[in-house]
Amino acid sequence: MSQLSMGQSSYSLQIPMGYLYFTLPLSGAITVVYSVLNIHKWLKF
């Protein structure tokens, strides 16, 4: 599946679709990290 999406490229941006599909889990992981940091900071007080 990943090989298939990396072979396709977006029409307007001309970059592999795999990069575009990877942004969703990446942004989710960044959100989780910042949420954990904020909860840690909140519990410290």
Q: What is the pLDDT of residues 1-45, one digit of tens each?
A: 556 667 788 889 899 998 989 999 999 999 999 999 999 999 986
Residue 5, pLDDT score: 64
- 4 vs 17: CA distance, rounded Å: 9
Q: Which residues contact 17 (CB under 8 A, 6 or more apart)?
A: 5, 6, 8, 9, 10
Residue 27, pLDDT score: 98
Residue 2, pLDDT score: 57
Residue 44, pLDDT score: 86
pTM above 0.75, yes or no: no
